[in-house]
Amino acid sequence: MLSNEQIEKYQAIYKKYYGKEISREEAYEQGIKFIRLIKLIYKPMTKEEYQILQKRREEINNQ
């Protein structure tokens, strides 16, 4: 699911922010967990939902 390049980039980012190296296996596992989390919480907005949101914002700004 994750390419070698993606795993290596994640390892580099992890090292930069936490000052510690992690194994390829650990980087892969954390990357997969992150992808699962995003899939669970991210839901694209439909055009209709966007239009409703814009209308609500306009109503709030006009009050």
Q: What is the pLDDT of residues 4-55, one digit of tens each?
A: 999 999 999 999 999 999 999 999 999 999 999 999 998 888 999 999 999 9
Q: Give residue 63's pLDDT.
A: 83
State whether residue 9 is helix, strand or coil: helix
Which of the pair, 62 or 12, is modelled with greater confidence?
Answer: 12
Neighbours of 6 (CB within 10 A): 13
Which of 5, 52, 51 has the alpha carbon at shortest distance from 31?
5
Q: Please compute the mean of the pLDDT values over residues 52-60 and round it to a whole number.
A: 94
Q: Give residue 11's pLDDT.
A: 97
Q: Give residue 43's pLDDT.
A: 85
Spatial separation of the C-alpha atoms in residues 28 and 16, rounded to whole Å? 17
- CB within 8 Å of 1: residues ≥ 6 apart: 32, 35
